[in-house]
Amino acid sequence: VQLQAYGGGLVQAGGFLRLSCAASGRPFTSYTMGWFRQAPGKERAFVAAISWSGTNTYYQDSVKGRFTCSRDNAKNTVYLQMNSLKPEDTAVYYCAAAKSPPYGGRWYVGPNDYWGKGTQVTVSS
């Protein structure tokens, strides 16, 4: 089972990027999928997630209105559209798939869940 994230890069403040995360090895039926990020010197933090059906989306307060999380279950892929990027969005972004959805602004990804390798997003001022 593998989650492969891509789409990171260098962008100026105010710009946009679209991250993708393709899952392979098994269908992620009933899994919530989404994104975390880790900035230098900081802990990994929840960013956004989406339920299997796409009915429910979850966002960290600092990205609400700027980021949109979506998924295509036929392609086993989750996306993160990031608009109006700020220098403080600079981080390594990781995708994840977990049985449990986020709760109270936090998302628990357990030992039986899945992580992808990160992709670097750098926003210059």
The model's pLDDT over 89-109, given as tens digits with 9 standing for 90+, comes to 999 999 999 999 999 889 999
Mean of the per-residue pLDDT values for the chain?
95
Identify the band that residue 45 occupies on the pLDDT scale cut at 50, 70 and 90. very high
pLDDT of residue 76: 92
- Supply 105's token pair: 């602004």
The pLDDT tens digits of the residues spanning 20-32 come to 999 988 878 889 9
> Over the chain, what HEC string results?
CEEEEECCEEEECCCCEEEEEEEECCCCCCCEEEEEEECCCCCCEEEEEECCCCCCEEECHHHCCCEEEEEECCCCEEEEEECCCCHHHCEEEEEEEECCCCECCECCCCCCCEECECEEEEEEC
Mean pLDDT of 66-72: 97
Percent of the chain with pLDDT over 70: 100
Looking at the DSSP assignment, which residues form a beta bridge with residue 96? 34, 115
Calpha distance 58→6 (Å, rounded): 21
